[in-house]
Amino acid sequence: MIIYVDDMIVIGNDSIGNEALQTYLSREFKMKDLEPLKYFLGIKVFRSRHGILLSQHKYIIDLLNEVGMLACKSSDTPATENVKLSTLSNQILANKEQYQRLVGWLMYLAHTRPDLAYSLSVISQFMHSPSEEHMKAVTRILQYLKSSPGKGIMFTKGDTLNIEGYTDAD
């Protein structure tokens, strides 16, 4: 069971148990069953015969529109290769509030976009004193999102769970 403020999701592979829980809760609380989950906290749930895809497509489009980058040039990767971000005293500072707001919005995407994890961990290190170089890194992530707004996490149907991970020692 997942509860957020006044929204609740009951999930599981025991449909009889799920129904019993929902019946009990509906006796105790005023509830409305909205049937199969389609959208929750900005995450769209797509069902197909292959499985379930969680995507934040609308959130990404709204974010790009909010920051005026809906028509921006897209990028194939979330970060520029071999760029090392740092904090130097001679850097031109960026708007701190704007930077923090953008990074916060991007962090929310980590729920369905593990491909952003490394880039988000790097840019979040400079929240206290962002420079124009750091803002360019945030812009690059937004350009990457422009190229792939529909990506998400796919949970495929099947009896086995295989987790694959890739890393670069650098």
pLDDT tens series, the chain, 170 aa? 888 888 888 888 888 998 899 889 889 888 888 778 888 888 999 999 998 999 999 999 999 999 999 999 999 999 887 778 877 767 788 889 999 999 999 999 998 999 999 999 999 999 998 999 999 999 999 999 999 999 999 988 876 777 788 777 76
106 touches 147 (CB < 8 A): no
Residue 163 amino acid letter: I
DSSP SS3 for 19: helix
CA distances from 151 to 53, 69, 74, 142, 146 (A): 9, 18, 14, 14, 11
Compute, in degrees rounded to 10, the torsion defined by CA atoms 151, 50, 33, 25.
-100
Burial class (CB within 10 angstroms; exposed 0-12, middle 13-18, buried 19+) of 103: buried
CA distances from 91 to 33, 87, 99, 129 (A): 54, 8, 15, 10
Q: Output the pLDDT for position 106.
A: 96
